[in-house]
Amino acid sequence: MVGKEMTEELVVAILKAAVKQRRESIAEYQAAARPELEAIEAAELEILLKYLPAELDEATIRQTVSEVITRVGSTAGFGSVMAAAMKELAGRADGAAVNKIVKELLG
Are 37 and 46 in contact by the 8 Å Cβ rule? The answer is no
Q: How high is the pLDDT of residue 84? A: 93
Residues 68 and 102 in one domain: yes
Per-residue exposure over 60-81, b if at least 16 CB sit within 10 Å of its own CB, e if not: ebbebbeebbeeeeeebeeeeb
Q: What is the dihedral of CA 13, 60, 55, 75, to 10 degrees?
A: -30
Write down the pTM of the prediction: 0.65
Q: How high is the pLDDT of residue 98? A: 94
Are 105 and 77 in contact by the 8 Å Cβ rule? The answer is no
Residues 42 and 74 in one domain: no
Q: How many domains does the chain have?
A: 2
Which residues of the chain are modeled with pLDDT < 70?
1-2
Residue 84 CB: number of other CB atoms within 10 A?
19
66 lies in some domain: yes
Are 82 and 99 in contact by the 8 Å Cβ rule? The answer is yes
Domain that holds residue 41: 8-50
Q: How high is the pLDDT of residue 83? A: 93
Q: How high is the pLDDT of residue 90? A: 80
Helical (H) or strand (E) element with 4: none
